[in-house]
Amino acid sequence: MFTDRFLRDRRGVRLETAERARLEEAIEEVRVVEARKRLVRAGDVLSESTLLVEGFLCRYIDDRRGLRQLMAVHVPGDFVDLHGFPLKTLDHDVATLTAATVAIVPHTALQQIEREAPDLARKLWYATLLDAAIHRAWLFRLGRLDSIGRVAHFLCETNARLVLAGLSDGRRFAFGLTQYDLAEICGLTNVHVNRVIRALREERLCLFRSSLVEILDPRRLAERGQFDPTYLYIDDSAAGALAAKD
């Protein structure tokens, strides 16, 4: 199933078998997209939304000099631009960071779900609210944490989200992003990120190499990044399993 990771193990929401089947039926097309390809351009009128099945996507804004600030990173199971359904246009671009597989859901299908399956529509709304919670955490990270804290927080968040997707064992996960991507995520220069990665390694907190992240001390890394996963709304049973991996 293309939707099996969507809203998996989230607190206060559970997709029934029939609801997941309804979402599967709403998928019009599945596309495989190369890395570093733009999927949505800011200002374009949208008629479909994108569910990420495999790979990493991002939302970003370029400044007047062409420098990019990543506003969000999406992992498998995320409904990346569901907010484009009511808004019709986005104020930012959406692109692949790695090679990705995406499922396309037309807005006409979402309109039908809205009319005929209000409980499922509410759960789709839940997904957009979850995106907003993650965005607030990103604002906190950029506004209040130092450079090491920013990278530590992002890696802890990504690890938790990938655990829910079944793509991390709690300590190791494949990570196709580059140091340049980390710099654009954390508001740092590439040189600064290189120093941060070295500091995390020397403090025996985390290793970042060859597209693989290995968290050596999850508890200390979370403390260094002031990471509290409450905003991810993880179900208690899944949160307990995640804590047990520390």
Q: Is the pLDDT of residue 199 over 60?
A: yes
The percent of residues in the chain predicted with pLDDT above 90, rounded, is 92
Distances (CA, A) of 236 to 232, 239, 243: 11, 5, 10
pLDDT confidence of 197, banded at 50, 70, 90? very high
pLDDT confidence of residue 246: 63
Residue 235 to residue 165: CA distance in whole angstroms:
13
Residue 74 has pLDDT above 80, yes or no: yes
Cα dihedral across residues 181, 185, 186, 187: positive or negative: positive
Q: Is 129 exposed, middle or buried (0-12, 13-18, 19+ CB in 10 A)?
A: exposed
Which residues does 4 contact at the CB level (< 8 Å), separation at least 6? 20
R_g over Cα of the chain = 18
Could you give all domains of the chain from N- to C-terminal order, each with its CATH number?
17-136 (2.60.120.10), 145-243 (1.10.10.10)
Q: What's the whole-number mean pLDDT along residues 32-43?
A: 97
Residue 67 pLDDT: 87
pLDDT at 66: 86
pLDDT at res. 244:
57
Block residue for tokens 């989230």: 10
CA distance 217 to 162: 17
pTM for this predicted structure = 0.95
Per-residue pLDDT reduced to its tens digit, 117-136: 999 999 999 999 999 999 99
Phi, psi of 125, rounded to the nearest 5 degrees: -65, -40
CA-CA-CA-CA torsion for 178, 180, 186, 188, nearest 10 degrees? 150
For the chain, the first-to-last Cα distance in angstroms comes to: 30
Q: Which helix or strand (DSSP H or E) is residue 95 part of? A: strand 93-96
